[in-house]
Each structure stands twice: as structure tokens, then as C-alpha cells.
Amino acid sequence: MKTLASFAICAAIFSLQLIKVEAVHAETRSADVIVYGATPGGFCAAIAAAREGASVMLIEPTSHVGGVNTGGLSFSDSNQTVRSTVMGLFDEWHRRIEADYKTRGVQLPYDVGVKNNATWTYEPHVAMRVTMAMLKEANVEVLPRHILQSVKKDGPTIVEIKTDQGRFTAKTFVDATYEGDLLAAAGVAWTIGREGQAEYGESLAGKRYPKQTMKFSGYDDAGNLLPLVTTDQPGNEADGDDLVMVYSFRLCLTEDANNRVEIPKPKQYDPARFEALRRYIQSGGTQYGIDLYPLPGNKFDGNNSIGGQFSLGLVGACNGWSEADQAGRDKIFEAHKQYTLEFYHFLTTDPVVPDSVRDRYARLGLCADEFPETDHWPPQLYVREGRRMEGMYVVSQNDILEAPEKVDPIAVSSFPIDSHDCQRVAFADGTVKDEGTIFPVRMPGRRHGYAYHIPYRSILPKATECDNLLVPVAMSCTHVGISSIRVEPTWMIIGQSAGIAAAMAAQQQKPVQDLDYPQLREQLLAQGQVLDLPKVEDLPSPPMAKVNVSSKTLAGVVLDDTSAKLKGSWLRSTNFKPHIDTGYLHDGGENKGTAQATFHCKVPNSGKYAVRMAYSPHPTRAKNVPLMVTQSGRTTQLMVDQTRPLASGEAFRTVGEVELSAEAEVTIVVGTEGTEGFVILDAIQLLPAT
């Protein structure tokens, strides 16, 4: 009996303790607007909503606020946008960074007030200081380390979210995570990966192989794939898949001995892991390493090289990140950190790496004054692409390039369509290719992409699925669409607009789908947003250069660049000589696979012809420019090394011979696919072979 009585007393005490704990967790906190995800889009949404008079909580699953803007990405991609359209909180944020430096007597090499395409850079700790100050001034309550557990809905309305630390309710919610966590938990439709070309009629969809073929086998002696080679079954080129572009860290690095912290050696290091890179270097490959952007404070922002064959991106390892729980993401985070440390160790120690390259990277270290709470390592993995909502309107390639104007704009986007690798593929012919890259699709002759509207509908779920949620980051678009939208300046201005809409919906107690757009537009403009598509001035016509070599004085059939039908972005120049007529074109070393030139002609007599190409040789030129001659369904493909010098006194070099008929039209195509370096387009000459 005594034992039973003691047990009953203990049980009663334990029950009271449970009731007390449950009561604490049962207490639900409220705000007008809750923003889940303290990404750049998230903190701008929170500040914007608060400035509209709403009470706002900014809830973040990790301990880090600011996403990659405060986590290592210190090279503002707004230099590749029409800067006059990226205003509002984004512009204010940069002005305050500029002011922060000025108050300490530091002169930045740019002026935020000048809306050109200069590079805007900053240090992570300065970006964090400015971000937290703006949140505090707006009276936004910031709640880090709250991992979403579940969502409670009443019909299509979210009434409560539960994290591992409490319950929260709001009139309107904003999912500003990179991954689309809240929308998925709320039962909103989403997709991930890449669409096929036919799904939305996108020429840039499906599989992409713009990079140069790597001439080494992707298999070991037993026939197994080498480490870092992800597949030998990439799928049909026109089809979609569930792959996302690579993630990586944006490393904050320095050579300054007074601020330099040694990059730690990896816990484990197996040189065999880098056999593919080793073979690439031994084959003569040079496109590997880390892109380094100079920053204030004698620092560098280290980025994955979009044009490199091997860089900071761990190809294939990011798939599954968005769908994983926090433990799963922690594991993927650590896998990327381990790879980064091993990759750096390889670059600085492996005998196959040239001494100059090893020495260059060995001088770098982490920064003692950055990220002290995480041993100077960036706390944020660069999630370039996660889930994408299937909302009221899906932004696709057509909206960017063909039909940019919308009736309900909330932002103007103009970053080039630009995707990093998704796969590294081994082929049976003993070669390897990176797959998935979309090199920047820019307006011809300009540093920025095509300007287009982000419609309000693209951040809204279908009303039947959820009526009080806005999604400015994992918004409704295709993979090609997110390849342009995915940069922080764009997400910040979309986030600001989402915050304003969220506050209005909360104040008016309306579904977000029922907001009056003219009224929303008025509030967006009041907070400094730009909603009209920019009038991009015509480029000045190049001055008529003195004729260097006149095509009229040349024998045979001469096709000057001015007679070519051009596709993609080409830039005109007269810098290098000799050139034919008034100048020549080049691809800027970019736009690989998208820039192409087509000539049509007829030859006077049937027979063999020498195909001759005019170009200005230089070490920066491409060594493998594809040139295809087609007649009557028969194609001869030639490869031109434009680093090779021309014979003394010559403007052309013979690159091959073809048999041609006088009866049919000849088509000559000069491409850029697979090239590295500048492709020069000056003139083609067809001469009867002797």
C-alpha cells in the first residue's frame, strides 16, 4: 500500500508538471503578420509590413538572420540589373551600408546614388549590423531558432503555426524561406527541379551542355564512376528532372596577416576523391578554382565559378535539401563544408596543381573579424534554388524575353537568366561534361538582363489552397524563371512588396487574393518601389571606323559579319587589327551556347573551296570555335583555334576545305557552344581550292 501510495503521489506531481509544460507550449503568441524565414526577402517583408503599421514577427529556423546577404555573399548582383528599378528597401539598405563606412572614414569605390553597373561590395559584419538596425527601428520582433513543426488551417486559412519553441497565429503569413517550408506545410502545391522544354515552351529548359567537353574518362579501372562525377545516365536533353543547381558557400577570405585565420584542414581527406579533377588538369584543363571578388577591408568574396569545370559547388549534393528536415539539412550542410575544405586542401597541396595556383590559394585564410560565433565559417549555405510554388501565375522564359509587361506588377526584375551546374556526366566515349549551366542571357551590348514585371499573382497560392499566405522567394515560376529571379536584390524588392500586401490584407481582413491592386500599387509606390518597365535607351551607334581591309578588294566569296543573321548577344569592336571592313563582333567571352551567327551565300562554280576565317588572334580567344558549312543536307563541321596567329600580311586563315555546288545555297554557322574565351566574328571567305 505504501508503495502504491508513493506511486500515486509521484504520478500526481508528474501530471502537474506535464500540465504546466503543456500550458507553456499551449500559449499562442499573435501578430498581424508573421514572416517565416529571415532571408533577404524575409527581412525586407518584415520591415515593409511593420512600416505599414502592422505588428510583425520574423521567425527564423536557424540562428542566422539575413540569409546569404549577411552570410558571405558580399558582391551585390545588382550590378547586373537595371539599377534604377531596384529601389525601395534594397536601395535604402545599400545607402545605409555606404553611410556606415563613411562614418568610420572609409571611402567605398562606388556611389549608391549613381545607378550605373558599378560593383557594390561590403563586408558581412557590416551588412549584419545594418540589417539588425533596420529591423529594430521597425519594431520587428526577431525570433531565431524556431523550426516549423506543423500548420493548422481552417479551410484555406492558416490559423496557427507550431515551431519547436511555441505556437503562433497571425492574420497574414509570408513564407520567405529559400526552401518554401511554410507553403509546403500549409498544403500549397509546389514543384522542384527542371521542366522539360515542351511544358512551357522554353528553349532554355531541359538539359544544358554549354561548357567545353572535358577530355578524360569519368570511370575508374573497375568501370565505376569517379567521385565528383554524378551520372552516366543524364536523361533526354528535352526532358525535365528533379535536379536543382549547385549550392556552395560564399567564403569571406583575406591575405591580410593581421586578420587572417588559417583555413582548417579537413577532418578526413582522401586524394582519390579528386581523381576527376586531377585527370582534368593533366589533360590541360585550366578552368577550376574559386572566383574571388575584392571587398572592403582587404577581403575577398569567394564564389563558385559558373564558368569553371570544378569549383566550390558540390555538384549533385544539394538535391533533397528542401525536402529534408533540419537534421537532414544539417547533414547536407556539413557535407558541403567538408567538400569545401577538401577542395581547398587539394588546391594548395596536390602535386598536379601548378605551383602558381597552389601559392595563390595558400595565401588566403578566413577572416578573424567575420562569423566569430561559427569559427569564422559562413553560417549560411547558398541555396540558389529550392521548392517553387505552383501558384496563380507561373513566370516562365516567355514572360522574361517575350511578354514582360503585366497588369499587376509588384517589382521589376532584370537579372540575366543564369543557372549553375546540375550534373557532371560521364560519357562512353571517354569524356566528361558539366550539365545544367545557363550562361547569362543579357540584352545585347549591355551588362544586365531583360527587364520584366513580377506579377502579384506569382507570389499568391491558389485561393482554394491558402488565402492568407504570400510567397516572395519560393515564388511561382519555372526553373528558367528562377534562374533570373533567384538573386538577392530581386528577392528583396519582391519581399518588400509581399510585406506591404501582407499588412494591407491583415488590416482589411481580406484574403490576399482579394486585395484591390490599384490600392496595393499606391502603397508600393509610397514605399519607394519602381513598377514601370524601364525605357532602355538605344546604344549609341559605333563610330564609323576607318576601313582596315575592304571586303571589296578580296577574291572569292567574302561574308562580312554585317551580313550575318545573329542570335544571342554579340558586341561590336574595332580594338584589334586587322579586321575586315568597319569592325568585328565578339561574344564577350560569355553567352556560351546562346550566341550564334548564320551566313547564306552561293558559290559561282562547283568544286572544292578553302574555308577561310578572319579573326584577330590573341591568347584570350577561344581555341575551339565551331564552324559548320551545310549544303543540300550535308554538313561539314570545322573547329577553329582563334589563338593561332595568322600568316604575315594575311587577314584570313584557312580552317578547312569543303566540296560545294553552284546549284544550291550554302549555309555557314559560327557558334559559341562549348567554347572558353572570346569568340571573334569578323568575316568568312570561300576561295576555290588550288
pLDDT tens, 258-269?
Answer: 999 999 999 999
Asked if pLDDT for residue 132 goes beyond 80, the answer is yes
> HEC string of 147-197?
CEEEEEEECCEEEEEEECCEEEEEEEEEECCCCCHHHHHCCCCEECCECCH
What pLDDT was estimated at residue 547?
56
Q: Give me the mean pLDDT over the 493-518 stretch.
A: 98
d(CA 478, CA 460): 15
Asked if pLDDT for residue 164 goes beyond 60, the answer is yes
Asked if pLDDT for residue 127 goes beyond 60, the answer is yes
What pLDDT was estimated at residue 350?
98
Asked if pLDDT for residue 493 goes beyond 70, the answer is yes
What pLDDT was estimated at residue 578?
77
Question: If you ran DSSP here, which 8-state letter would residue 72 be given?
Answer: T
pLDDT band at 305 (very low <50, low <70, confident <90, very high): very high
What pLDDT was estimated at residue 543?
52
pLDDT band at 14 (very low <50, low <70, confident <90, very high): very low
d(CA 493, CA 476): 16
Query: Nearest CA to 309 among 194, 424, 230, 224?
Result: 424
Lowest mean pLDDT segment, chosen from 56-60, 212-216, 393-397, 568-572: 568-572
pLDDT band at 677 (very low <50, low <70, confident <90, very high): confident
How much is the mean pLDDT over the chain?
Answer: 93
Asked if pLDDT for residue 620 goes beyond 90, the answer is no
Alpha-carbon distances, residue 380 vs 68, 251, 253, 292, 433 (angstroms): 6, 10, 15, 18, 29
Beta carbons within 8 Å of 659's beta carbon, 6+ residues apart: 607, 608, 609
Beta carbons within 8 Å of 226's beta carbon, 6+ residues apart: 218, 219, 220, 275, 276, 279, 426
Lowest mean pLDDT segment, chosen from 542-546, 579-583, 637-641: 542-546
Whole-prediction pTM value?
0.79
Asked if pLDDT for residue 538 goes beyond 90, the answer is no
